[in-house]
Each structure stands twice: as structure tokens, then as C-alpha cells.
Structure 1
Amino acid sequence: MQTLTVVGMGRLGRSLARLAVMSGEYCLLDVMGRRPQPLREAREFVGAGRLVGEMRQLAAADLYLLAVPDAAIAPCARGLALAGVAPAGSVAFHASGVGDAQLLQPLAEQGVLTASLHPAFSFADPQRAVEGFAGTLCALEGDEEACRRLEGFARALGGRPFRLAPGGKAAYHAGLSVASNFLVVLTAMARQLTAQAGVPPELAQPLLGGLMRQTLDNALELGPYDALTGPILRGDIGTVERHLAVLGDAGLAAAYRALGRQVVALAGDRLQEPARQRLLALLC
């Protein structure tokens, strides 16, 4: 059985610690946090681990999860390196979506294997997270041996590990942000326009929801190229002109133009000249 220490017992830290204990494959040695009362509550939730307040008190472990906010990862790694408790050959990793293993460089310089493991999952509530984690995709990058060992860790928790290309962490996280945050913004934009058109608020959700769900299903199943429809793909200059004429909000108009240019690019050779050039001129 491998040993695990978790530094930072927020929602993600306590969720992964609990899953590790439940797996029966990991012995949780130490749990560390800044505030005593939340740390005790986390320890009670996890059901294992010795409460530790300082880095130098940590026992030697096989795995160290630095489950701290992104801005604290590098300072935490420096503190752990200064404490000198992590043995060479152990694995230290963090769970940031955008940061990579380079944040743990002080530990790597001491022979600790470093990596990042990002579960594509919301840890809003630890109990719900533990219950629903099975099948979660977990992105790995960093030292090859560290990633190999973390593949086993992710599988033990019920996750599905996969590797990112070297240097790909920021692009990976940008992709998730576009898929999640920007979809919400697009919904808000569409609701603003339907309200402008006089659509009753109680009808906005069924009107937009059905179309958005169908379109998203098509894009995921058929691929974006084959799922694309609409006036820009058809080269319908007049419709695009009328759209632009009613976009009084400057931010809304700028977003429409920017996304419209992406539609032109995605349309590829299905959009014929001179319609392509006329559309690009309209959308600039």
C-alpha cells in the first residue's frame, strides 16, 4: 500500500483524500492546513490522516498532493523543499487546471518526481464529489515516472487518466474555459437578443434551450465542421447585415463579429467567393 500526504484540505483536497482512503490502495499519512478548525472538520470527513500544522512535521510519503490555490502552489513547493521531508523518488503533484509541473521545480531539484493531475470535475460539495467522481477524466503532465504512478492513483480514485502534450496545460485549460464559461456567456447573449425581440421571459428557456442542446449534441457527435449551419455558412449577406443593424450593444456587436469570423474560418471551402470576402468585410 502506498502512502499519501495532502497539503491543503479545501474541497478538492478533502474529496481526493477521501477517495484515496476509500480505494483501499493508499494510506493517508498526514493532512495539513492553515486553520485548525476546518482542518479538523476535513480530517473527520476523510476519516484518516494525522493533523499537521507545519511542513517540517510531515512524515516521508510516497505521494504528496499540494491541494492549495494556484497562487500558493509555488510557495508551498518551496516550503516543502526547505523542510526537506519529501524523499528523492517520491512524487509531488498539484491539481491546478492551468499550472504545470514547473511550479514544483524546487522539489524537482531535490530528486522529487513532479507532475500535475487535473480532474475535469466540479468539487463544489465534497460529499457529492466523492459520490459522483467515477469516470472523471484526469489530465496528467510532468515527469514521465510521476505521470505513470499518478495514472494508477487516478484509476484507484475511479478516474480516467490521460496525458497532455508537453507545454499543453494552458491550452488545455483555455479549451475547458471556452467550453464552459463561454457557453454561459453565449446563453446570456442569446437571451438578451430574444428579450430585445419581445420574446416573453418564460419562453426564452424553451426557445433557446432546445436549439442549443440539439446543436451541442450535433457538434459533439458529428464534429463542428459537419454540425455548422446558419446564414454565414450559406453566404447570406443580407441576413448578417440585418443582424448587425440590431446589435446596439457595443460588446454584443464585437462578440458577434469575432465569432462570425470564426464561423467563416470553420466553413472552409463550403463558403464560396466572393461571399467570403464580403462577409469578412462586414465582420471586421
Structure 2
Amino acid sequence: MPHTLNIVGAGHLGRVLGRLFAASGAFAVQDVLTRSAASAADAVGFIGAGRAVGELAGLRRADAVMLAVGDDQIEAVCAALANAGMLGGALVFHCSGAKSSAALQAAAARGALTASVHPVRSFADPEGVARDFAGTFCGIEGDARALALLEPPLALIGARLVPLDAAAKTVYHAASVMASNYLVTLMDAALRAYQAAGIPEQVARELARPLATETLENVFRLGARPSLMGPIARGDVATVARQQAALDGWDAPTGELYRALAVATTRLARRDR
């Protein structure tokens, strides 16, 4: 029989992993606890397994506990579960990319085996992620015994495991933010600048698409430095200065963003020379 799993916090990420664990037989989803009985019932409906629980007192002990709560709630929720005697001897893991398994110290102090698992995906579309999760990279770190227990279930759902240095977990998460969230911010600045030049928004998107996608493909194929093109790469300081002045005059915040990126891009252009 698969190990039983309690899920605490079942937003997009928690319910996707819950569905995958249940469907694959990696875990037998037992209890699902969220902020309300209604949201827990909704999560159980998505997962297709488990019992909805609206309060801590309703949880039964399980072999494993997944904390899929917000980053700022992990320590408090873990401490509450530990104080209630729910974690002794269990496998306990959270799904934060920003915090290490050290956030589960209250569980470890009660004899639990602790770890963290962070799927490197956007969970904006839970149905879509659940459908094509196989091959998703997951950053993992924690107690060696916990990882030994976690790796087989994660393999069953198609995760590609990437061991992390727990001490650098926040830097790792910042990398994910820059590769996703900040990339969106940068593209927004470019699209607004196109529109300031009189190009309609939809046309601006199509104009930017080949530049953005081909550049990213080059970075993933060749690396960052060989993919760098444009005025800074060729040493055209005058063009950069004109662009800076134009952006400062058009939109000061975008000018500040351009200035910071120009400094970083100049460093990149000089790398390995």
C-alpha cells in the first residue's frame, strides 16, 4: 500500500501535486486541510482523492505531510502541526522555492524527516500543469533520509530532480523569479515603448515575438555571452546614450530600468574577453 499523505494548503501547486501523487499511486492522499472547509472540498474535487478538513483538529496522522502554504506561513503551520503531535516520525516537506527545509525545524525537533521540493513551473493553469507535468524540473534539498523517501514518489509523477544547496536556496529562487516574473516586466517595458512609437499593442506583440523567442533559444543553445547582440555588444556607446536620453524623456521608470540593464549588459559583454 502507498504511504498516506496529508496536504496542508491546497492552492494551485498543492492541488496539482495532490492529483499527480494520487493518480500515480505515489501516495494515498488522506486529508486535505485548507483555510476553510469549502476550499478544502474544492481541492479534494480537483485532486480526486482525500477527505476535506476545515481545521487542524480534524487531521489524522499520516506517513507524510506536504505543506503547500504560502512562504510566510510555513514555520507557523509546521509548529502548529508539531505541537499537535501530528509530525513525529513522519516525512514532512514544503513546496517553497524561497525557503529551505530549515523552515521545518519544529517538525525535525519532533523526529520528523524534513525536505523541500520546488517544481520550477508556473501553476497559473492547474489543469494544464497536471496534464503535462512529466519532465518538470524540481529543486530538492533536505535530510538525506527524507530525500530517499521522496525521490521514488517524485519519479512516479515524472519529476526531474535537481539537488540544491540549502544555504543558497534564496539565490536559487531569485534566479527563477528573474527567469519568469522579471522577464514579463522587461517585455512589458519593450511593448510599451513600441506603442509609444505609434505601433498598436497587438502589432507590438508580434513585432517583439521573434526577437524575444529567437534570443531565448540562442541563450539556451549557446549560453548568455555568445547570444548578446546589439549596441552594447558592438561598443556603440553613442546609440546607447541616445536611447537612454529618449527613454528618460518619455518615461522615467523605464529609463531607470534601461540604465540598470545597460550596466549589467556592459559587464556581460566584457565577460571572458
Write the deviation string for residues 76-119 of structure 1: whole angstroms up to 9, x where unpaired.
Answer: 1011111112232x211111121211211111111111111111
- Following TM superposition, by how much is the alpha carbon of 1:202 offset from its aligned partner in structure 2, in angstroms? 4.1
Alignment partner of 1:17 is 2:18: yes
Residue matched to 1:174: 174
Q: Which moved more, 1:202-211 or 1:162-171?
A: 202-211
Say if 1:26 and 1:201 are closer, same or farther in 2 by CA, change over 3 A: closer
Preserved CA contact (<8 Å) 2:133 2:159: yes
Q: Which moved more, 1:34-43 or 1:224-233?
A: 34-43
How far apart in 1 are the matches of 2:188 and 2:127? 31
Residue matched to 1:126: 126
Q: Given residue 223 of structure 1, which amino acid in structure 2 is its aligned partner?
A: G
How far apart in 1 are the matches of 2:121 and 2:272? 37
How far apart in 2 are the matches of 1:52 and 1:270? 57
Match runs of 1:3-82 below 5 Å: 3-82=4-83
Say if 1:24 and 1:246 are closer, same or farther in 2 by CA, change over 3 A: same
How far apart in 2 are the matches of 1:52 and 1:87? 20
Q: Which moved more, 1:24-33 or 1:130-139?
A: 24-33
How far apart in 2 are the matches of 1:142 and 1:20? 20
Write the deviation string for residues 122-180 of structure 1: whole angstroms up to 9, x where unpaired.
Answer: 22343333212111111111212212322222212221111111212111111111111
- Following TM superposition, by how much is the alpha carbon of 1:270 offset from its aligned partner in structure 2, in angstroms? 7.5
Preserved CA contact (<8 Å) 1:56 1:84: no
- Following TM superposition, by how much is the alpha carbon of 1:200 offset from its aligned partner in structure 2, in angstroms? 4.1
Alignment partner of 1:267 is 2:265: no
How far apart in 2 are the matches of 1:154 and 1:117? 9
Say if 1:91 and 1:207 are closer, same or farther in 2 by CA, change over 3 A: same
Say if 1:140 and 1:160 are closer, same or farther in 2 by CA, change over 3 A: same
- Following TM superposition, by how much is the alpha carbon of 1:251 offset from its aligned partner in structure 2, in angstroms? 1.4
How far apart in 1 are the matches of 2:69 and 2:145? 23
How far apart in 2 are the matches of 1:12 and 1:270? 40
Q: Given residue 104 of structure 2, which amino acid in structure 1 is its aligned partner?
A: L
Residue matched to 2:260: 258
Instruction: Please give the secondary structure, in 2, of the residue aligned with 1:138.
Output: strand
Write the deviation string for residues 172-191 of structure 1: whole angstroms up to 9, x where unpaired.
Answer: 11111111122112212212
Per the normalisation by structure 2, the TM-score is 0.91
- RMSD, matched Cα: 1.9
Larger radius of gyration: 1
Q: Which moved more, 1:59-68 or 1:73-82?
A: 59-68
Percent identity between the aligned chains?
42
How far apart in 2 are the matches of 1:269 and 1:91? 44
Preserved CA contact (<8 Å) 1:30 1:50: yes
Q: Given residue 21 of structure 1, which amino acid in structure 2 is its aligned partner?
A: A
How far apart in 2 are the matches of 1:6 and 1:169? 23
Preserved CA contact (<8 Å) 1:4 1:65: yes
- Following TM superposition, by how much is the alpha carbon of 1:56 offset from its aligned partner in structure 2, in angstroms? 4.4
Per the normalisation by structure 1, the TM-score is 0.88
How far apart in 2 are the matches of 1:29 and 1:42? 13
Match runs of 1:74-223 below 5 Å: 74-88=75-89, 90-223=90-223
Q: Which runs of 5+ in 2 are unaligned?
A: none
How far apart in 1 are the matches of 2:271 and 2:88? 57
Preserved CA contact (<8 Å) 1:93 1:116: yes
